[in-house]
A and B are shown apart, each in its own frame.
Chain A
Amino acid sequence: MYFQRYDLPVVLRYLNALGLLALEVVLVYAFYDQFYKHDLPCPLCLLQRVGFVACMIALLLNVSYGPKPWHYGLLLLSAVFGAAVALRQVSLHVIPGTPPYGEDVFGMHFYTWAFVSFVSIILLTSMLLLIPGQYMGSNGPGFIPYTLQPFWVKTVITIGLMIILTNAGSSLIECGFWVCDDNPERYKLLVPGR
């Protein structure tokens, strides 16, 4: 399908919005595991969620302000941070005989899937950076306010904001105002401890 030159920034905005949606699906699945399967996230798990949220905000920059190289730079930095945290957790459990943390999904645990996801984000962002003509310059609308975005983009942004806020609330309830437990078994603010 051939896109005219001035359509490319718009296409890339929508592509970034789809990327935002993909990250939201990841975090919603994490919530499903937390609330339905009662598998509380550990401190490193929460930091990986922070990494995903940081990637979401970088994508939000592209959606709202149009694709720019430094937005992709922020996306890469966030993904590198997330990959480092995930890799640390993988390394803590990789020695044979060391018990894993949490359940596995299709044979790999969440932290392994997180590492694969962050590396995929890095690879995809690198490929996106290769696309010429996506930076608008003097062409195009520049900043598009939330209210003027297409309905589906507004929905994606709203869901993203709700996910970030829910993560803030659930991590506060789980850890309280203290350091999170390495192996959390209860919500500290709901169930007073020993």
Chain B
Amino acid sequence: MVSLLFLLNFIAAIALLRNSLKFGLSVYSFAFFLSIYWFQFHATSTLRILL
């Protein structure tokens, strides 16, 4: 799962270097929101274990 976040950022970087601003930013934004979701998932799962 985390490797997917890195891969998406890599794809976004390549797209931005090739002047594909819309596609690059779309992938970057998707990776960003996926990162937030994954952080929330980890945070709540840890909280569940502690409680």
Q: List chain A positions with a Cβ less than 8 A from chain B.
A: 43-44, 46-47, 49-51, 53-54, 56-57, 60-61, 64-65, 74, 77-78, 81, 84-85, 88, 92, 143, 145-146, 157, 160-161, 164-165, 167-169, 171-172, 175, 179-180, 182
Contact partners of A175 in chain B: CB under 8 A: 1-3
Complex: how many Å from CA A26 to CA B14?
Answer: 21
Complex: how many Å from CA A182 to CA B48?
Answer: 14
Contact partners of B14 in chain A: CB under 8 A: 161
Q: List chain B positions with a Cβ less than 8 A from chain A.
A: 1-3, 5-7, 9-10, 12-14, 16-17, 19, 21, 28, 31-32, 35-36, 38-39, 42-43, 46
Q: Give the shortest distance, in Å, between B49 (CB) and chain A (any CB).
A: 9
Check A78 against B17 for contact (C-beta < 8 Å): no
Given the known interface contacts A47-B42, A60-B16, A65-B21, the answer about A54 and B35 at a Cβ–Cβ threshold of 8 Å is yes
Complex: how many Å from CA A74 to CA B33?
Answer: 13
Contact partners of A81 in chain B: CB under 8 A: 32, 35-36, 39
Check A57 against B28 for contact (C-beta < 8 Å): yes
Check B17 against A64 for contact (C-beta < 8 Å): yes
Chain B at the A interface: SS class: helix
Contact partners of A57 in chain B: CB under 8 A: 9, 12-13, 16, 28
Contact partners of A47 in chain B: CB under 8 A: 2, 5, 35, 38-39, 42
Check B13 against A50 for contact (C-beta < 8 Å): no
Contact partners of A160 in chain B: CB under 8 A: 13
Complex: how many Å from CA A146 to CA B19?
Answer: 10
Query: A88 is contacted by which of B3, B38, B43 (Cβ under 8 Å)?
Result: B43
Given the known interface contacts A44-B42, A47-B42, the answer about A164 and B10 at a Cβ–Cβ threshold of 8 Å is yes
In the A-B complex, the 6 residue pairs with the closest CB atoms: A168-B6, A172-B3, A171-B3, A46-B2, A167-B6, A164-B10
